[in-house]
Structure 1
């Protein structure tokens, strides 16, 4: 039944039989047959369907909760038995907010030094996408904000406090300043992350708290694109300190602290809540707990 439950979870996630089949690497007829067999085994209809996916039935909604729990438990059993036999191994998928990709790199690098049989896939996603991916088993862990918006039932380990910096070209009038107030950016040409990014929502609030509502003339979901615009000399952007310094290195731009009473926000490792966690996720949470101190000592 386990493979049928995974098919059912995929259909619920994709809301489309063809995409669900593709995500599992099987044909659509095989997927449809598997769902039908699962419905026969459970004695209920799980999905409304005619010529296309029509949503989950009330029974399907309840079954989805159980399916996720059962599949999660099965994967945990497999991982624990494998760890007992060969040590930590396997593939870990981390979905990280774009501003925390440097921390995802640090965590994965340190972890693989201790556990060389573990491989990582690191994906850049919004905070909302990360929670959905964790729920749908598309990611094993995430790096995201842990104190700004509702997260549901998850395990977290704090990594760092996000502080915000102005990034400007060497020719900007702000380049020689030791700090810049948020309100001073009013009327300047800004390029910022897109509104679906939680970082952008935080920045918007900081501007509002400073009593201004500046307009972003260029928006992108890529921080690299923002830095590239700043290099032209006419644009300003606001980024968290760590990623700002990392991407500005060797470029004709300056990173200047933003002053004022803007609230910082905690970023950390996020994993689906389970007791106990799989051995790999448990070790990853432990490593995340150590990472800020280890990084501070190396700085």
Structure 2
């Protein structure tokens, strides 16, 4: 069995098309098809549902795919270990990040690169649920997410970075209640732009309104933080956002901020698979993670 055959299988699962998978692997379509058939012959099972086209994986193929992901992830860790034995300056890391915490990433990278200067990082914006799934599949090495979304009795190690606080934010031209801390019912007359309902941050906001027995005025919903910032800074709409998701740069007029009470304050932190064969880069980064606490940075 060749590792290249496992790479072909992962490419097929990604592209669901023989030609595009072959192109991504840098081989011809017949070579890729032959490699998959050879893998099936060696294992004595049918992996691919096909005629002239790719129709998906068989049940046995799905199990082989999961094993292939784990094997190639372990191989990548071995390669990084070998590279770091020569030079601890580099390595790579793939991080999944919830949208509400995307602005925390530069702070993390600054700390990570203090110990791995040439660290290459790929950042994927995902929901907490997707981060858990992708960590299990070894597609991600780290997740930045709500820790109450980590399944109980799961094979994950976690570290809390900060406790999230939601605030009401608006341009100074918008009329808001004068008190520094306001209640959910006080916000019910303010036109809002919010994250979409599948996002955990929005679910916490909805719970606050629901418990207060009021219905908010929501004029825009999006999963794009940049769009929320644009509406917020334009003065057209206010928003309820975690402190970590507030715009880092605002105009000369600035923003008005109101604390909201009572509200749920979930923990946000980093998550990785709890296993002993992690890459040298990941283990070195995780050592840095244990020294990180960002509550002072993200408290308004």
- What TM-score, normalized by structure 2, do the two folds share? 0.86
**Range with greater deviation from structure 2 (271-280 or 35-44):** 271-280
1:184 aligns with 2:186: yes
1:211 aligns with 2:182: no
Q: Could you tell me how far apart the structure 2 residues matched to 1:283 and 1:81 are?
A: 14
The equivalent residue for 1:62 is 63
Q: CA RMSD in A?
A: 2.7
1:220 aligns with 2:235: no
Note closer, same or farther for the CA distance 1:42–1:295 as it changes in structure 2 (3 Å cut): farther
Q: Could you tell me how far apart the structure 1 residues matched to 2:23 and 2:139 are?
A: 14
Q: Could you tell me how far apart the structure 2 residues matched to 1:97 and 1:144 are?
A: 6
> Given that residues 193 and 238 in structure 2 are in contact (C-alpha distance below 8 angstroms), is that contact kept between their aligned partners in structure 1?
yes
Q: Could you tell me how far apart the structure 2 residues matched to 1:88 and 1:295 are?
A: 30
The equivalent residue for 1:114 is 115
**Range with greater deviation from structure 2 (57-66 or 99-108):** 57-66
The equivalent residue for 1:101 is 102
The offset of 1:157, in angstroms, is 1.7
**Range with greater deviation from structure 2 (107-116 or 9-18):** 9-18
> Given that residues 158 and 288 in structure 1 are in contact (C-alpha distance below 8 angstroms), is that contact kept between their aligned partners in structure 2?
no
> Given that residues 168 and 175 in structure 1 are in contact (C-alpha distance below 8 angstroms), is that contact kept between their aligned partners in structure 2?
no
The equivalent residue for 2:86 is 85
The equivalent residue for 1:282 is 283
The offset of 1:49, in angstroms, is 1.5
Q: Could you tell me how far apart the structure 2 residues matched to 1:28 and 1:200 are?
A: 45
The equivalent residue for 1:156 is 158
SS at match of 1:246: coil
Q: Could you tell me how far apart the structure 1 residues matched to 2:111 and 2:126 are?
A: 22
Q: Which segments of 5 or more consecutive residues in structure 1 lack a partner in the other structure?
A: none
The offset of 1:279, in angstroms, is 1.3
1:124 aligns with 2:125: yes
The equivalent residue for 2:238 is 236
**Range with greater deviation from structure 2 (60-69 or 244-253):** 244-253
Q: Could you tell me how far apart the structure 1 residues matched to 2:216 and 2:25 are?
A: 45
Q: Could you tell me how far apart the structure 1 residues matched to 2:212 and 2:278 are?
A: 43
**Range with greater deviation from structure 2 (245-254 or 140-149):** 245-254
Structure with the larger helix share: 1
Note closer, same or farther for the CA distance 1:131–1:293 as it changes in structure 2 (3 Å cut): closer
The equivalent residue for 2:168 is 166
> Given that residues 70 and 138 in structure 2 are in contact (C-alpha distance below 8 angstroms), is that contact kept between their aligned partners in structure 1?
no
